[in-house]
Amino acid sequence: MDYKIADISLADFGRKEINIAEQEMPGLMSIRKKYTSEQPLKNVNIMGSLHMTIQTAVLIETLVALGANVRWASCNIFSTQDHAAAAIAKAGIPVFAWKGETLEEYWWCTECALDFSDSDGGKSNGPGMIVDDGSDATMMIHKGVEIEKNPSLLEKDYSGEQEDLRELMNCLKQEYSKNATRWTEVAKNIKGVSEETTTGVHRLQQMADAGILLFPAINVNDSVTKSKFDNIYGCRHSVIDGLNRAMDVMIGGKVVVVCGYGDVGKGCVQALDGQGARVIVTEIDPICALQAAVDGYEVTTVEDTLGRADIYITTTGNKDIIRLEHMEKMKDQAIVANIGHFDNEIQVDQLNKSGAQKINIKPQVDKYTFSAGNSIYLLAEGRLMNLGCATGHPSFVMSNSFSNQVLAQIELWKNDYEVGLYRLPKHLDEEVARLHLEKIGVKLTELTDEQADYLGINKNGPYKSEHYRY
């Protein structure tokens, strides 16, 4: 069988949880009902690089129901739920993911999921479409193409780079020795990618601005039914779950620093405030800083909180937010965690090289003791604590995000987009929201013809302009 997972015997447990999740994911189930007979993705090779969770299993089986040939890998070494992966493997869908991968194994899994040479009878060696989270699959292809154009890149010294990049380059070097044109051929056949996260969109935008993006991309993250639901309400749910499962400390009364007051930061702050924490926000953006201040929170720098804060959570998608010099000066027993995307928000590499004594407490919880005698607890090795230490966002919220992903895949496949970065149209955003209303008992007020004329809109939507901020 074409898969590599932790334990296939977990499949029946995974299937039971998938059945429960389906009841909480009305958007995806409605899309299945609407499109299964049409088969809009019939025989399309779709590769997914996205957390292999129970909710993602429902997304995968929705793509399959719409006709796609799917291969999957997780986008994080700790985020796979092994029973979910087992259920997908038992259903005959190639999946390469397990909780606790090494970075070498991670890139191997991504490479395997991108290889369709066996699964479609040798008709192609790569996907026609990609579902991405963090743009790792997209980056692997782009780096591969770059190397095939300039093989001397393989001889560069990457010892000073993040371990993530070092292992990617090692993987690409091995592949280049076997097939020196693989990634160029793969890129030619890709019709598009739909990207899930803020971090991934940043990467795509940088590639588009530099003129090196190789295929069209739809920014799913900035759909309102993704960013204002997954990022805010999902994090509001899962940040507490991650902290409780990892440390089980009383949050009420603690001083908690949240780095960033974007959508993810706002969700975290709401949750922590609701638990009775004394929340401090750090920000670079004057607008977000003003929002946090007017919402009632102290806004200052990380440096200003050292020695008094109990918990630090990064939410930014940027690098070096919490540096080694910060961690060395933190209050004894401080907890440090990240709910952004990559582990470079916290200087984990530098921490591991610092000489601090490291003791593993339990999976995804490590204690570091500095020479001065103070200690910190690092969650999930600086990677996503809500997925590394807990199970991520709840099914209902993910139904919103994943409905956008499926619609983006259909949109990209049926239309010929020029290379660039796009967003889903407003009417599809509203449709995703509409699909979730009945489940929670919402009744919409309907505009009269006169009211619609007064506003100058169609009474059936879209109801807001493209630039409306919600």
pLDDT of residue 399: 98
Provide the token pair at 387: 């997925």
pLDDT, average across residues 437-465: 96
**Residues annotated in a binding site for NAD(+):** 197-199, 231, 260-267, 283, 318, 339-341, 386, 393
pLDDT of residue 121: 55
In the chain, the amino acid numbered 325 is: E
Q: How does pLDDT run across 31-54, given as a tens digit for each residue?
A: 999 999 999 999 999 999 999 999
Q: At which residue do the structure tokens 């395997």 appear? A: 112
CA dist., res. 239 & res. 338, Å (int): 10
pLDDT of residue 122: 53
pLDDT of residue 123: 56
Q: Are strands 365-369 and 375-379 parallel, antiparallel or unpaired?
A: antiparallel
Sign of CA dihedral 233, 235, 238, 239: negative
**Residues annotated in a binding site for substrate:** 53, 133, 196, 226, 230
On whether the CB atoms of residues 52 and 13 are closer than 8 A, the answer is: no
Residue 281 host element (H or E): strand 278-282
Q: How far apart are the first and last CA of the chain?
A: 47
Give the number of other CB atoms < 10 A from CB of residue 64: 18
pLDDT range class, residue 420, cuts 50, 70, 90: very high
pTM of the prediction? 0.94
Instruction: Walk me through the domains of the chain, giving residue ranges and CATH numbers.
Output: 3-190 (3.40.50.1480), 232-389 (3.40.50.720)
CA dist., res. 17 & res. 54, Å (int): 7
Q: Is the pLDDT of residue 224 over 90?
A: yes
Of the candidates 260, 259, 264, 242, the one whose C-alpha atom is nearest the C-alpha of residue 251 is 242
Q: How does pLDDT run across 344-360, given as a tens digit for each residue?
A: 999 999 999 999 999 99
Q: CB under 8 Å to 80, separation ≥6 — which residues?
A: 6, 51, 52, 53, 74, 97, 98, 99, 101
Distance, CA of 401 to chain centre:
11
pLDDT of residue 118: 72
User: How would DSSP label each residue in 36-85?
Assistant: TTT-TTTT-EEEEES--SHHHHHHHHHHHHTT-EEEEE-SSTT---HHHH
Return the SS3 of 193.
strand
Q: Is the pLDDT of residue 333 over 60?
A: yes
Sign of CA dihedral 143, 199, 275, 224: negative
Q: Is the pLDDT of residue 77 over 70?
A: yes
CA dist., res. 116 & res. 186, Å (int): 10
148-to-145, 182, 186, 204, 334 alpha-carbon distances in Å: 5, 8, 12, 20, 46
Provide the token pair at 60: 């995968």
Catalytic residues: 51, 74, 79, 133, 196, 221, 226, 230-231, 235, 341, 393, 401, 405
On whether the CB atoms of residues 462 and 257 are closer than 8 A, the answer is: no
pLDDT of residue 327: 99
Q: Is the pLDDT of residue 117 over 70?
A: yes
CA dist., res. 198 & res. 134, Å (int): 8
CA dist., res. 307 & res. 310, Å (int): 8
**Residues annotated in a binding site:** 53, 133, 196-199, 226, 230-231, 260-267, 283, 318, 339-341, 386, 393
